[in-house]
Amino acid sequence: MTGTGEKSEKAVFCRGESMRPLFRPGDRILFEPCRIEDLRRGDVIIFKAQGQEELVVHRVVTKGTAGIRTKGDANLSRDVWEIRQDDILGRALSVKRGDRVTSVAGGLAGHLAACVLGILRKLDHRSSWALHPLYHLLSRSGIARRLVPESMTPRIITLTKQNGTERQLLMGKKVIGRRLPGQAAWRIRRPFRLFVDERTLP
């Protein structure tokens, strides 16, 4: 999950999906500066990652003498980066979504929450594999697409970035799919593939 910084307010805006369901695109994440020695496994940190043009907001999974390793709650594998003090902007304290502000759990509580999410994601992945043929059949049939009101018809927006063009697929105000720069395939979240005719996507 990435964001754009606001140094004076010590906040970043979520623009990715890698920390769902804790953060969603559009959320405002408040943080405080921190020292690497004060971080605990389970803390959520904001940092600059090598090769990434935007800031990254992920959870600490290991801490060693050489640096720390991180992972997005919604990702299946750890990040390849090793984070050092100079890379870190701060530790997440809370997230603002609309008018609601929620504390961000760190340390042991954050680690346990991430473990539970990981178990649920694996169970979801296995059940999805079993139900995939039925899901694919319903998607191709177009039945669900005919039930979508015109105001909720999926639409595409284009974002120009330093490394190319990103396209996002929206249904109402919700981002349901993305096609990242340099990628030929769309990544569409379940169950929204039922409402999209992928053959019409650029």
Identify the DSSP state of 105. P
Q: Indicate the pairing of strand 2-6 with strand 68-71.
A: unpaired
pLDDT at 9 over 60: no
Identify the DSSP state of 190. T
Looking at per-residue pLDDT, the higher value among 45 and 148 belongs to 45
Residue of 15, 49, 8 whose CA lies nearest to 30: 8
What does the pLDDT average to over 31-54?
Answer: 92
Task: Please enumerate in sequence order all residues whose Cβ is within 8 A of that of 135, keeping only pairs 6 or more positions apart, or say none.
Answer: 128, 190, 191, 193, 194
pTM of the model: 0.62
Identify the DSSP state of 83. B
pLDDT at 114 over 60: yes
For the chain, give the percent of residues with pLDDT over 90.
34
Q: 69 and 79 in contact (C-beta within 8 Å)?
A: yes
- Dihedral (Cα; 7, 53, 50, 73), 10-degree rounding: 80
Specify the DSSP element, H or E, that contains 141: helix 107-141
Sign of CA dihedral 83, 89, 91, 94: negative
Residue of 87, 54, 53, 51 whose CA lies nearest to 69: 87
Looking at per-residue pLDDT, the higher value among 37 and 8 belongs to 37
| Length of the chain as a residue count | 202
Q: 87 and 48 in contact (C-beta within 8 Å)?
A: yes
Q: Indicate the pairing of strand 44-47 with strand 28-32.
A: unpaired
Reported as a pLDDT band with limits 50, 70 and 90, residue 5 is: very low
Task: Please enumerate in sequence order all residues whose Cβ is within 8 A of that of 150, keeping only pairs 6 or more positions apart, or say none.
Answer: none
Out of 56-65, 78-87, 131-140, 154-163, pick the least confident. 131-140
Q: How far is CA 159 from CA 1, 76, 164, 167, in A?
A: 16, 26, 9, 6
Out of 18-32, 79-93, 149-163, pick the least confident. 149-163
Of these ranges, 88-92, 97-101, 148-152, the one predicted with the greatest mean pLDDT is 88-92
pLDDT at 177 over 70: yes
Structural domains for the chain: 2-109 (2.10.109.10), 145-200 (no CATH)
